[in-house]
Amino acid sequence: MEIGPFTIHFYALCIIAGIVIAVWLGDKRFKAHGDNLENVVADVAIWAVPFGIIGGRLYHVISSPNNYFGKNGEPIDAFKIWQGGLGIWGAISVGAIAAYFAYKKQQKKKDLPSFGYFLDALAPGILLAQAIGRLGNWFNGELFGRPTDLPWALEIPQSLRPDGYTAFETFHPAFLYELIWCTLIATALILVKKKLAPGQVFSAYVALYSVGRLLIEVIRIDQANTIAGVRVNVWVSAIVATLAVLNYLRLGRSSAKI
């Protein structure tokens, strides 16, 4: 949307709003672990957020190279994050690594709980940030699935429909499914009362989100790299979900031995 000489990118606004929510909720949850935890989440976010965005963009570009380096691609578009395209796996992994080192630096100054508690505090907020970010996909007319005539089907302009689907008008709103799934998981993690080992909440987040993402990827029809005829993100979702479940169980067993 253009207002005078300014151009407002709703996708970027959704990402920013999601980050604000994630930091606010994460800070509120983390401060429940002690009295000297003011501003820790915000200080770590200064490093984790930009690295997370870089990681998310790198994953997206690497997993969809034809969009930027293919026959009709423009390499410069790889830098246009406001047009959409952030891979959650790259964002979480690179952002978590940056957060780890930033958190360790904070631990040298303050008596902080383990990094697992920090990740657990952030998990619901990250999910809500993902949900809000998916609204940006709606504004950009992306992340939709196979054609459907269900009551909640999404109408997509012909110019944005993939090759072979130009005759169809309405499609599955895959972004909406992910938004709802992320919100449900976030709510469940906030309401859970069971005593869990540090890091288990974050592992549960990764596992549950990955399962939902796998199912959503199956209905998507946009161009994507495949392995053995299956979208790369389906493979990644299955592998990440499995590793997250194993880590959840490992953390539970380790805690039980203490």
How many domains are there within the chain?
1
Residue 56 covered by a domain:
yes
Query: Residue 60 has what pLDDT?
Result: 82
Cα–Cα dist 109/137, whole Å = 40
Instruction: Return all residues near 37 (Cβ < 8 A) that are at least 6 apart.
Output: 30, 31, 110, 112
In the beta sheet, which residues pair with residue 227?
Answer: 230
In a domain, 140, yes or no: yes
pTM of the model: 0.89
Instruction: Report, as an integer, the average pLDDT of 179-187.
Output: 97
| Domain annotation covers residue 107 | yes
Contacts of 105 (CB under 8 A, 6+ apart): none
Q: What is the pLDDT of residue 65?
A: 72
Q: Is residue 250 part of a domain?
A: yes
**186-231 pLDDT, tens digit each:** 999 999 878 899 999 999 999 999 999 999 999 998 878 888 989 9
Residue 3 belongs to some domain of the structure: no
pLDDT band at 2 (very low <50, low <70, confident <90, very high): very low
Q: Is residue 241 part of a domain?
A: yes
Catalogue the E-assigned strands of the chain: 2-3, 6-7, 154-155, 170-171, 226-227, 230-231
Q: What percentage of residues in the chain have a pLDDT greater than 70?
A: 92
| Structure confidence by residue, pLDDT tens digits, 103-157 | 999 988 888 999 999 999 999 999 999 999 998 888 878 889 999 999 999 999 9
Tell me what pLDDT residue 5 has. Answer: 46
Q: What is the pLDDT of residue 255?
A: 67
Full domain range(s) for residue 51: 9-257
R_g (Cα) of the chain, nearest Å? 19
Indicate whether 149 belongs to any domain: yes
pLDDT band at 257 (very low <50, low <70, confident <90, very high): low
How do residues 12-62 score in pLDDT, each as one tens digit? Answer: 888 899 999 999 999 999 998 887 888 899 999 999 999 999 998 888 888
In a domain, 47, yes or no: yes
Mean per-residue pLDDT, 69-82: 72
In angstroms, the Cα distances linking 165 to 159, 177, 243 are: 11, 21, 36
